[in-house]
Amino acid sequence: MDKEFKMDRTLVYSQTFEEANNHTTFYDNKSIQERVNAACFIIYNIYGTNQHTKVDRTIITKRKHENK
Four-point Cα dihedral 25, 27, 29, 32, nearest 10: -150
Give the model's pLDDT for residue 1.
Answer: 45
Is residue 68, in this structure, part of any structural domain at all? no
Is residue 4, in this structure, part of any structural domain at all? no
Is residue 51, in this structure, part of any structural domain at all? yes
Q: What's the mean per-residue pLDDT of the chain?
A: 80
Is residue 2, in this structure, part of any structural domain at all? no
**Confidence at 16, pLDDT banded by 50, 70, 90:** confident
**pLDDT tens-digit series, residues 23-52:** 777 788 889 999 999 888 888 888 888 889
Give the model's pLDDT for residue 36.
Answer: 92
pTM: 0.51
Rounded CA gap, 3 and 50, in Å? 22
CB atoms within 10 A of CB 38: 13
Rounded CA gap, 17 and 49, in Å? 32
